[in-house]
Amino acid sequence: MRRQIEPLWRRYFQSKDPELRNRLMEKYLGVVHYVVSKLFKAIPSYVERDDLVNIGVIGLGEALDRYNPYFGIKFETYAIPRVKGAIIDELRKQDWVPRSLRSKSNQIRKVLEGLEQTFRGEVVSQQVAHHLGISETEYQHWQSQVNATSLVSLDKPNPNYDEHNLYDIVEDESSTNALEGMENEELKKILVKVIKKLPEKARLAITLYYFEHLTFKEIGKILNVSESRISQIHSETTERMRKMILEELNV
């Protein structure tokens, strides 16, 4: 059944009246605070929360201007990744991630993409390290450094404004925002489909981490591998999932 369009949205979409736009901005300001509450714990201490809110409001406005209520998806579903993208893009402009670390992250990503296309399956750390020209121990150290700075993988924005990204599937118990309970059934179905396509070890690690809330150390014991190996699997798998989700969304 086709979703009914709210009268306020219908009127704004037809008229682009600034007064109606302001009413919609006020109505959905909670989306910005929801996103900021999710990201705030993962950013440098010198970044002010109010600054993130101000940036997020700009992202909210851009999402509102681009949103088509006749697409059949909730505005919140459409806006959340765009507000996140605006905030993360601004943080990147401030260059708080060292260039050397960003370079390592890019090198790892490119090698992983190449190996995945070649082998069509799970890529082991020895292969990645070999193609990077470093030892496996050093590669794991790189992974630890990259993971330590992660707004990453699950929250990674895309250069194309209209691309979707996998947002929070981890519950933030500190957040009391009413949007916390908002369900995104479409994305959940895609997520389940993507997880089922993962190699067994990667699928189990992701499930235990995000749905059973186990630590890397606890997961390592279950899978009989080191904690650093689980950290590596997590980083590589979330990047792979991001690409698979984009393919499912046909973007």
Cα separation of 209 and 177, whole Å? 24
Instruction: Write down the mean pLDDT value for the chain.
Output: 75
Cα separation of 181 and 33, whole Å? 14
Q: Where are the domains of the chain?
A: 1-97, 99-144
Among 201, 187, 205, smallest CA distance to 244 is for 187
pLDDT top residue among 49 and 19: 19
Mention the CATH class of domain 1-97: mainly alpha
Instruction: State the alpha helices, DSSP H only, in the chain.
Output: 7-15, 18-27, 29-39, 49-66, 75-93, 99-119, 125-132, 136-148, 185-197, 200-210, 216-223, 227-249
Query: By mean pLDDT, which of 89-93, 95-99, 120-124, 138-142 is the weakest?
Result: 95-99
Report residue 141 CA to chain centroid gap: 23
For residue 46, the model assigns a pLDDT of 55
Which tens digit of pLDDT belongs to each residue from 204-228?
A: 888 888 777 778 888 888 888 888 8
Cα separation of 141 and 145, whole Å? 6
Q: The whole model's pTM is what?
A: 0.42
At 77, list the tokens.
Answer: 């579903």
